[in-house]
Amino acid sequence: MEHRKLGEQGLEVAAIGYGAMGMTMAYGQGGDEASHIATLRKAHELGVSMFDTAEIYGFGTGANERLVGEAVHRFRDEVVLATKFGFDVERWAERGLNSRPDNIRKVTENSLRYLDTEFIDVLYQHRVDPDVPIEEVAGTVGELIEQGKVRFFGLSEAGPETIRRAHATYPVSVLQTEYSIFERSVEEAILPVLEELGIGFVAYSPLGRGFLTGDFKPAAEYPEDDMRSYDPRWQGEDYERNAAAVGALKELAGEKGITVGQLALAWLLAQKDYIVPIPGTRRVERLEENVGAADVELTAEDLKRIQAILPEGAYGDRYKAGTMPEWD
């Protein structure tokens, strides 16, 4: 698979990464530990090199990080492990944050243990903490890098001013934020800043939380522990309009002999050469489909048709009220 550079500090990964959140969080129950590990190892076989996890994906228990760590242990030196700090796991229900230096160090030590690794390749601040200056966060991660516990500094869902201030304190290699045909807000506000500063971009939810796979149903048909049961884009008229748009995308994909999911991932890869999407799945067949998107080439006409179908992204907010990340 093609590899891409993320930032100017030496980080390089395969064009398609893997997001492990859904194995333990947000998408209901499905599969078991053995099947999850098999899927992660299959991703490596297919050329995926970046595996993304976080403290909060295990609600502070390390469940998600342990899963990833066990899966990649035998080929650890061939992959990039990315994890995140920044939530207060004791106040998760109210979206509590904690990026104080002492907590960053504590979470990092836990993650090293859970992942069973001597170093973390990419350490992200998961969400910007308004109570802790970003300079303190960047400085603390910089110290961890100098100590050899971390290789690269990342931010997630940070706005332009925060990115600039962090980068001025310690070089930011990569920003992770939602981006897809459905979610386009980074295009005007964020990508120009990344280009100016030489920062890479990792796109989470590149398949619109599953909507862009073409496999979807109304919110009421998902279990309560599945975020799609309350996601605004799965509700009412917004759901109907999004479903119609995906139908049009599916028609284009069919003309090209690919799936709508592959079309969506190929669209992301075509936007900038410093973008790496991290789709997540529990199913090997879907994994193989996702990786296959790296070989799809879209023409200028294809991109024009996609733009016409969803000129401003999906209908409806990307998070329910009160939980939307705020950028400066």
Q: Could you write out the DSSP letters of every residue in 65-116? A: HHHHHHHHGGGGGGSEEEEEE-B-GGGGGGT-B---HHHHHHHHHHHHHHHT
Per-residue pLDDT tens for 216-240?
Answer: 777 667 777 777 776 888 788 888 9
Q: What is the mean pLDDT of the chain?
A: 92
Check pLDDT > 80 for residue 105.
yes
Handedness of CA 105, 111, 114, 116 (dihedral sign): negative
Residue from 48, 94, 55 nearest 71 by CA:
48
The residue with tokens 């907010």 is: 317
pTM of the model: 0.93
Q: Is the pLDDT of residue 27 over 60?
A: no
Question: Over the Cα atoms of the chain, what is R_g?
Answer: 19
Mean pLDDT of 43-62: 94
DSSP label at 212?
A: G
Q: Averaged over 44-55, what is the pLDDT?
A: 97
**What length is written for the chain?**
328
Q: 176-214 pLDDT, tens per residue?
A: 999 999 999 999 999 999 999 999 999 999 999 888 988
Q: Domain spans of the chain?
A: 3-209+271-296
pLDDT value at residue 54: 96
pLDDT category at 100 given cuts 50, 70, 90 is very high
Please check the confidence at residue 323 and state whether its pLDDT lies above 80: no
Residue 264 is predicted with a pLDDT of 97
- Give the CATH fold of the 3-209+271-296 domain: TIM Barrel (3.20.20)
Query: How do residues 255-270 score in pLDDT, each as one tens digit?
Result: 999 999 999 999 999 9
pLDDT at 152 over 70: yes
Q: What percent of the chain has pLDDT over 70?
A: 94
- When pLDDT is cut at 50, 70 and 90, the band that residue 36 belongs to is very high
pLDDT at 30 over 70: no
Residue 146 has pLDDT above 70, yes or no: yes
Catalytic residue positions, numbered: 57
- Residue 322 — very low, low, confident or very high, per pLDDT cuts 50/70/90? low
- State the sign of the Cα–Cα–Cα–Cα dihedral 119, 121, 125, 126: negative
pLDDT of 324 reads 62
Q: For residue 102, how many other CB atoms are within 10 A of its CB?
A: 9
Predicted confidence band of residue 282 (pLDDT cuts 50, 70, 90): confident
